[in-house]
Amino acid sequence: MNILEKMKKSFGADESKIKILDNELQFKLKLNISDKTFKYLNNAKNLQSMMETLMGGGAVAGATYFGWVSSLGVAGQLGMAVGLVATPIGLIAIAGGLGVVSTYTVKKAMNKVDKEAFTKIPTFINTPLDILAINIFHSVAPVAVKIALSDGHFDKSEKEHLIYSLNSLWGFDKKFIEVELAKVIASSDEYSFLTLKDHIGEAFKKNKDIDTYSLRMELIKLAWEMVIADEQITNQETIEFDALKTALLGCD
Amino acid sequence: MTKLLIENPKTFKKKSIDINEEQASVIISELHDEVLTDEAIHSTLNNLDIPAELKVILSQIKSFTISVGNTIVKIGRRILELLIYMIKENPKAAQGLIIGSLLGFIFSTIPVIGWALGWLIQPLAAILGLSLGYIQDIKDETLKRNIKSAVNDAFDSVINIKT
């Protein structure tokens, strides 16, 4: 085995060790997912069928992977696919609407797509729940990071609080949080509350049964916790927090 | 014949070397594959327990490319992939020591890379506090052997090309 093959083997093994959720029941509780829906989401056998439903049926070729991902933004389709109606589906809509999966999953997926492959899913995505979790992580974390960085630095206490929230309250795996947070921090300059507002507005308009209020309150609550995490409230933090509130509360 | 073009990213001086078609084909096939995604490289480097100045140098290395005919070969990216692999496979060794030794060895034994990136040796030595011996700084003979073997294997297609 030459060094290139050793490297591929070594890094490939790493990927299979990635775990998105450390406590799936905590995640279920946080999203108020019903038992029936949770059972569906947590069944690996449903990954392919959910994907096909989102794609409008038929097999999914590697080249059309982006289409599958972008379709996650359509809350109605996802709702139909997994039977979600009374859960806070707004999170799912916004998560998909922001296209956040494409920044993480698809690039990895596309790298792994074999020429002959029909459908290739990254090894760490095992169930529809994993897809949902990745999307939700990338909807929640950027808001907190943006607020935390508004005074120019990501304080240790802010980071610890965010990791605690995402791990203990949301059920995300700590290693996953650390790896993903590094990416969120690196791209925080490009993140805008106005984009978030637009997506929430769109989701609300198109899907009347979506509970975006609870989502907005959840994001505002987390943002405020980030403001006070380092026990110092700076002007910049106040300005950013107000901007977030204006953006989120102006969605109606 | 095919042209192999190198540009020194500091001085912007260029060097053109003639290689035969077979050599060109081997270089492209060996160095074209990406082992890690950009995101994986970025997040791994960000999480390394090393000085920020060293992270800047590593990002400069990552963007180093050479041209083989009409093909751009991301050789700097392969250097970082190898670096991350060596750190991962040797968790007990100091990260700074592996970085300094591996880069020092690459710059001093592979002319195509050394000509373009050799100027990084001094800042590397200053940041890492290593002597200019680099590979000689490693007392662990197995690690030293592994680094030499990995570098020779990874850059086999360009190691004998003279500048």
Q: What is the pLDDT along chain A (252 residues), one digit of tens a residue?
A: 788 888 888 877 665 566 889 898 888 888 777 777 777 777 776 666 555 544 443 333 332 333 333 333 333 334 434 433 333 344 444 444 444 333 334 334 434 433 333 334 455 666 777 777 877 787 788 889 999 998 888 888 899 999 999 999 899 998 889 878 887 887 788 778 877 777 666 655 555 544 567 667 888 899 999 988 887 788 888 999 999 888 888 755
Sketch the domain layout of chain B as residue ranges: 2-159
Subunit contact A108:B47, Cβ cutoff 8 A: no
Chain B residues whose beta carbon lies within 8 Å of the beta carbon of residue A175: none
Shortest Cα distance, chain B CAs vs residue A57, angstroms: 30
Distance CA B40, CA B35 (A): 10
Grouping H, G, I as helix, E, B as strand and the rest as coil, residue A44 is coil
Subunit contact B47:A186, Cβ cutoff 8 A: no
Subunit contact B153:A2, Cβ cutoff 8 A: yes
The segment with the largest mean pLDDT, out of A201-215, B1-15, B117-131, B133-147, is B1-15
Q: Is the pLDDT reported for residue B159 higher than 60?
A: yes
pLDDT of residue B47: 76
Q: Could you tell me if B81 lies within 8 Å of chain A, comparing CB atoms?
A: yes
Subunit contact A182:B47, Cβ cutoff 8 A: yes
More confident residue, A88 or B23: B23
Subunit contact A7:B81, Cβ cutoff 8 A: yes
Q: How many CB pairs under 8 A join A and B?
A: 49
pLDDT of residue B95: 85
Distance CA A65, CA A110 (A): 8
Task: State the average pLDDT over residues B54-60.
Answer: 88
Backbone angles phi, psi at B60, to 5 degrees: -70, -40
pLDDT band at B151 (very low <50, low <70, confident <90, very high): very high
Shortest Cα distance, chain A CAs vs residue B45, angstroms: 10
Residues 6+ apart with CB under 8 A from A60: A51, A52, A68, A118, A119
Chain B residues whose beta carbon lies within 8 Å of the beta carbon of residue A183: 39, 42-43
> Which of B27, B30, B31, B36 would you mutate first to test chain A, the one with the most A CBs within 10 A?
B36
Task: State the average pLDDT over residues B103-117.
Answer: 92
Residue of A2, A111, A182 with shortest CB distance to B46: A182
Indicate whether this model's pTM tops 0.80. no
More confident residue, B66 or A218: B66
pLDDT of residue A119: 37
pLDDT of residue B18: 93
pLDDT band at B114 (very low <50, low <70, confident <90, very high): very high
Q: Is the pLDDT reported for residue B66 higher than 80?
A: yes
Chain B residues whose beta carbon lies within 8 Å of the beta carbon of residue A10: 85, 88-89
- Parallel, antiparallel, or unpaired: how do β-strands B2-7 and B66-68 relate? antiparallel
pLDDT of residue A203: 55
Backbone angles phi, psi at A22, to 5 degrees: -95, -30
pLDDT of residue A118: 33
CA-based nearest residue in chain B for residue A110: B37
Q: Could you tell me if B35 lies within 8 Å of chain A, comparing CB atoms?
A: yes
86-145 of B, contacting A, C-beta below 8 A:
88-89
* Average pLDDT across chain B, whole number: 87
Q: Is the pLDDT reported for residue B157 higher than 80?
A: yes
Distance CA A105, CA A98 (A): 14
Burial class (CB in 10 A: 0-12, 13-18, 19+), B151: buried
pLDDT of residue B76: 94
Chain A residues whose beta carbon lies within 8 Å of the beta carbon of residue B42: 182-183, 186
Strand order in the sheet with B71-73: B14-19, B2-7, B66-68, B71-73
Shortest Cα distance, chain A CAs vs residue B11, angstroms: 29
Q: Within 10 Å of residue A80's Cβ, how many Cβ atoms?
A: 13
Subunit contact A7:B40, Cβ cutoff 8 A: no
Chain A residues whose beta carbon lies within 8 Å of the beta carbon of residue B77: none
pLDDT of residue A68: 33
Subunit contact A3:B153, Cβ cutoff 8 A: yes
Subunit contact B153:A108, Cβ cutoff 8 A: no
Q: Is the pLDDT reported for residue B15 higher than 90?
A: yes
pLDDT of residue A30: 80
Residue of B37, B46, B88 with shortest CB distance to A10: B88
**Residue-by-residue DSSP string for A172-195:** B-HHHHHHHHHHHHHTGGG--HHH
Distance CA A111, CA A108 (A): 5
Subunit contact A4:B150, Cβ cutoff 8 A: no
